[in-house]
Amino acid sequence: MRGSRGRASPRPPDDGGGGTGAAVSALTKLLRREIKAWLGCGDGAAGPERDMAVNGGTMRLVTHMSERIRGRLLDDVIAAEDAETEAAEADDDYTYLLFHPREVLLDLLPGNAVVAEIGVAKGAFSRQILARARPAGLHLIDPWEEQADDAYRPDPANVEQGAQDKRVERIRGMFAGEIEAGTVVVHRDYSGAALARFDPGTFDWVYVDAMHTYDAVLADLRACRRVVRPGGLILGHDYANHGLARGMNFGVVEAVRDFAAESGWRLLCLTADEYPTYVLAEGRGDAVEALEAEILARLTVLKVHGFLRMRYRQEYHIDRGRRRLNMYVSLK
Domain boundaries, the chain: 15-88, 95-331
Q: What crossing angle do the helices spanning 71-87 and 20-39 adopt, rounded to 10°?
A: 120
What pairs with residue 186 in β-bridges?
140
pLDDT along the chain (332 residues), means of 10: 40 44 54 48 41 42 52 74 60 92 95 96 96 98 89 81 94 97 97 98 97 96 97 97 93 98 97 95 88 96 96 91 89 92
Q: What crossing angle do the helices spanning 214-227 and 252-263 adopt, rounded to 10°?
A: 40
Q: Give the C-alpha distances (Å, rounded to integers) separating 156 from 153, 191, 246.
A: 8, 19, 13
Q: What's the pLDDT score for residue 262? A: 97
Q: Closest Cα partner for 46 from 63, 27, 31, 71? A: 63
| Cβ–Cβ < 8 Å for 56, 324 | yes
What would you report as the CA-atom Rg of the chain, rounded to the nearest whole angstrom? 23
Classify the phi-psi angles of 137: left when phi > 0, otherwise alpha if psi is within -120 to 50, otherwise beta: beta
Q: Closest Cα partner for 184 from 120, 237, 231, 247? A: 120
Q: What's the pLDDT score for residue 258? A: 98
Q: Looking at domain 95-331, which CATH architecture does it have? A: 3-Layer(aba) Sandwich (3.40)
Q: What's the pLDDT score for residue 219? A: 98
Q: What's the pLDDT score for residue 312? A: 96
What is the pTM (predicted TM-score) of this model?
0.76
Name the residue type at position 97: L
Edge-to-edge strand order for the sheet containing 301-305?
A: 184-187, 137-141, 114-118, 203-208, 228-236, 278-281, 266-271, 94-98, 301-305
